[in-house]
Amino acid sequence: SEQRSRMAKALFTPIAISSHCRTRDSRYCSRATPENRNKTDHSVLRHLTSKIKSTGPISVAEYMREVLTNPVSGYYVNHDMLGPDGDFITSPEISQIFGELLGIWCVSEWMAAGRPKQFQLVEFGPGRGSLMSDILRVFSQLSAPLGGAEMSCHLVEVSPRLSKLQAQCLTGDQSQVSTNEDDPVYRRGTTTTGLPIYWYRRISDVPQGFSIFLAHEFFDALPIHIFQKTEKGWREVMVDVHPETEDKLRFVLLPSATLASSTLLQTDEKRRHVEVCPEGGVLIQQLACRIVEDGGAALIMDYGHDGVKTDTFRGFKAHKIHDVLAEPGTADLTADVDFSYLRRVAGDRVTCIGPISQRAFLKNMGIDTRLQVLLRHCQDPSNQAQLIQGYDILTNPEKMGERFQFFTLLNHRRKGPAPLPVAGFSELCLR
Ligand code: SAH
């Protein structure tokens, strides 16, 4: 069988993907370079090379899944990637204004839906819990308009380690871990603002009911397949062990079509190099079903494009671009979200709006006014400077303003003969 696998490998075409030298359209990176990083751990690489040696090259999707969410060695399972020694920084960590405006968005969507009695707030991949914490602060300040709603908080998080950080942030350590491994709720508690809060591993575990779903820098972490157009048709890009250096990985092209290459691509695809995220597609379909059946909305916020970009798979380590195949498990892996794909799989049972830029969304939500209010109430010049700097990073087109995108899935009932404007997606709604 070793000979067969060697022969099979000889058929794969090695290809170079320039993932280590892409800076132009990359994630926003702060200039901090943490010094005290853990020493490199080779267990993920060892696990991957032995797997590839026994069964052959793996898809990029399988590579991403193993590297990011393997229950033992996965990057998210072992890292606090947003902490002081982290690898990247995200909007909720940059400024409290971000979460506050999203809190207002959630309330506005709940009101537009006719103020249903039950109100579930669901967040996917909440990181350190900062976004949810800022939203909950807004909710507690808006207790009068929200009065009477039965509110609850639901977090979908694969990493037990991050769920603990989230619980510290949101409940002040008032949470309990389930002792039964089969329990879909693996942690529960009460938020510091008095709401019931639950942690799950996947969306199917979240109870049905009117929900506002939030996903911030979540879809970009879901595994992608990569395809390349060749003279013989579409072929899938795979990850293989380097033939000369056993502890190095390289990309190769599969010699023949696969189920993935024949089912995941559009027949009229114009690009020659395409990334597809079927897990993201399945999640969108689940969200669309729930929104149709129970009402609600989903807001997806991510680095992304509308079906035009080709090569966005990359790694981040200590706030710098990192070769996606080097030292797997020690760096974050991400691929820009293809919103045209999400819109297509959502189908026409729901209304999709966007993507629009973070700058446009936050301006529509009143970020300029909010900044002025905060500045007026804040005496300390260094806090003022921090507020202004945060505003700049979020909205400046050269920073996150244009690269970061907002996309929403809504219940059709909003559509009617005179469709209601949707907060954040049109300027009108705040007037
Ligand atoms: N939303 C946060 C964190 C983004 S990092 C922020 O913007 O700051 C991605 C988050 O998604 C982490 O919390 C990670 O543990 C979680 N995650 C990644 N893949 C996941 C999956 N397949 N299922 C559930 N959670 C996942």
Coil, helix or strand at residue 174: coil
How many Å apart are CA 251 and CA 234, to the nearest integer? 16
C-alpha of residue 358 to centroid of ligand 1, in Å: 19
Report the DSSP pairing between strands 314-317 and 320-322: antiparallel
Closest protein CA for atom 2 of ligand 1:
127
**Residue whose token pair is 């005290």:** 36
Residue 351's alpha-carbon distances to 64, 399, 428, in angstroms, are 30, 29, 19
C-alpha of residue 298 to centroid of ligand 1, in Å: 16
Please report the pLDDT score of residue 278 as a whole number.
98
Please report the pLDDT score of residue 4 as a whole number.
42
The answer to whether the beta carbons of residues 408 and 298 sit under 8 Å apart is yes
User: Which residues on adjacent β-strands are paired with residue 105?
Assistant: none
Please report the pLDDT score of residue 337 as a whole number.
98
C-alpha of residue 127 to centroid of ligand 1, in Å: 6
- Mutate-to-test residue for ligand 1 from 64, 157, 337, highest number of ligand atoms within 8 A of CB: 157
C-alpha of residue 335 to centroid of ligand 1, in Å: 13
Q: Quick one: which H or E segment has residue 411?
A: strand 404-411
Please report the pLDDT score of residue 83 as a whole number.
75
The two tokens of residue 53 are 């040696």
* Ligand 1 atom at minimal distance to the Cα of residue 156: 24
C-alpha of residue 157 to centroid of ligand 1, in Å: 6
The answer to whether the beta carbons of residues 319 and 87 sit under 8 Å apart is yes
Which candidate, 75, 14, 4, 17, places its Cα nearest to that of 243?
Answer: 14
Please report the pLDDT score of residue 42 as a whole number.
80
C-alpha of residue 126 to centroid of ligand 1, in Å: 6
Closest protein CA for atom 6 of ligand 1:
127
The two tokens of residue 79 are 């890292």
C-alpha of residue 125 to centroid of ligand 1, in Å: 3
Residue type, 357: S
Closest protein CA for atom 14 of ligand 1:
125
**Burial (CB count <10 Å: 0-12, 13-18, 19+), residue 142:** middle
C-alpha of residue 337 to centroid of ligand 1, in Å: 14
Closest protein CA for atom 20 of ligand 1:
158
Q: Name all residues whose Cβ lies below 6 A of ligand 1.
A: 68-69, 76, 82, 90, 92-93, 125-127, 156-159, 162, 216-218, 221
Please report the pLDDT score of residue 25 as a whole number.
47
Please report the pLDDT score of residue 15 as a whole number.
64
How many Å apart are CA 75 and CA 328, to the nearest integer? 8
Distance of CA 358 to the CA centre of its chain: 15
Please report the pLDDT score of residue 75 as a whole number.
95
Please report the pLDDT score of residue 84 as a whole number.
74
- Mutate-to-test residue for ligand 1 from 158, 200, 206, 283, highest number of ligand atoms within 8 A of CB: 158
* Ligand 1 atom at minimal distance to the Cα of residue 82: 8
C-alpha of residue 50 to centroid of ligand 1, in Å: 27
Closest protein CA for atom 21 of ligand 1:
158
pLDDT tens-digit profile, the chain (431 residues): 444 444 444 455 566 554 333 333 457 766 555 544 555 568 899 999 999 999 999 999 999 999 999 999 999 998 889 877 889 999 999 999 999 999 999 999 999 999 999 999 999 999 999 999 999 999 999 988 898 899 999 999 999 999 999 999 999 988 999 999 899 999 999 999 999 999 999 999 999 999 999 999 999 999 999 999 999 999 999 999 999 998 899 999 999 998 999 899 999 999 999 999 999 999 999 999 999 999 999 999 999 999 999 999 999 999 999 999 999 999 999 999 999 999 999 999 999 999 999 999 999 999 999 999 999 998 899 999 999 999 999 999 999 999 999 999 999 765 555 666 889 998 744 43
The two tokens of residue 204 are 């199917």
